Amino acid sequence: MIYKNVLFFIMMLFNLVCSAQSVPISIPVDSLGVKNKTQIQFKTKQLIIPAVLIGYGIIGIGNDQLKSFNNQIKEEVKENIDKKFTIDDFSQYLPLASVYGLSAIGIKGKNNFRDKTVIVATSYLIMGIAVNSLKRTLKVERPDGSGFNSFPSGHTATAFMGAELVYQEYKDVSAWYGISGYLVATGTGVFRLYNNRHWLTDVIAGAGIGILSAKAAYWLYPSVNRLLVSKKPTNKKTTFIPYYDGKQVGFGLVSTF
């Protein structure tokens, strides 16, 4: 019975996310990201799905009924699953890798490498700060008792952030690229439950944070781009490399003159 309930919630999560993609974000960017102003179409309803997912997770921390459901999942996992799979440690990065991988095999996305990297780095920074701040503030114990940093799921947030980035970059080519990314992201969340590393509320909130982080990166792109682009011609080149080691998030900076 509990597996049917879990499946229902996971399918609900996937359907909610996919339905949200009917709202476009338009970002025409020139080849250098300098000559033309980047235009972003923002609509308030784009916030609905991430807000619902994050809200569900936060409410679940103190709601007795949702906590009881979390515990039912935990007991089912302990009783019926003996072997753990660490595929989620790798699958969390697969959608993000696809943002560049699809370009590498000749599928042209919305933005060039430079602009895409700025957007990826911005979304990664937003996601990392949000996830780690909540983990350290709320200190929710993991189902397996291994720590007090369960909420929200960083693996799930990373996977859904990548899925949203894939969708936004390649939806004009085919929406199936984004849908495939979301399938991988959903599978990552399922394995976090399967491995008894997270509560369902952690996973759902992580999905919302990941999606919102990616969307926010596109909304913030014009402002971030202005900070990175000099008004005067220069031979100086700067590259930002994001990093996240599970505890800290930040950037590496490489400059050439």
The confidence band for 27, taking pLDDT boundaries of 50, 70 and 90, is: very low
**pLDDT tens string 203-222:** 999 999 999 999 999 999 98
Query: Considering the domain boundaries, does residue 146 fall inside one?
Result: yes
- Comparing 49-58, 181-190, 224-233, which segment has the lowest mean pLDDT? 224-233
Give the gyration radius of the chain's Cα atoms: 19
Q: Is 127 helix (H, G, I), strand (E, B) or coil?
A: helix
Query: Considering the domain boundaries, does residue 237 fall inside one?
Result: no
What per-residue confidence (pLDDT) applies to 80?
77
Query: Considering the domain boundaries, does residue 238 fall inside one?
Result: no
Q: What is the mean pLDDT of residues 232-236?
A: 57
Query: Considering the domain boundaries, does residue 236 fall inside one?
Result: no
What per-residue confidence (pLDDT) applies to 241?
56
Query: Considering the domain boundaries, does residue 246 fall inside one?
Result: no
Query: Considering the domain boundaries, does residue 38 fall inside one?
Result: yes
Query: Considering the domain boundaries, does residue 250 fall inside one?
Result: no
The beta-carbon contacts of 191-194 under 8 Å, at least 24 apart in sequence, are 191/85, 191/87, 191/88, 191/91, 192/88, 192/153, 192/155, 192/156, 193/6, 193/73, 193/77, 194/77, 194/81, 194/84, 194/85
What per-residue confidence (pLDDT) applies to 10?
54
What per-residue confidence (pLDDT) applies to 46?
85
Distance CA 116, CA 108 (A): 12
Q: H or E segment at 216?
A: helix 200-228
What number of other Cβ atoms are within 10 A of residue 158's Cβ? Answer: 27
Task: Domain count for the chain, please give it.
Answer: 1
Calculate the average pLDDT of the chain.
Answer: 82
Question: 218 lies in which domain range?
Answer: 2-230
CB 159 within 8 A of CB 167: no
**pLDDT tens string 79-100:** 877 778 889 999 999 999 999 9
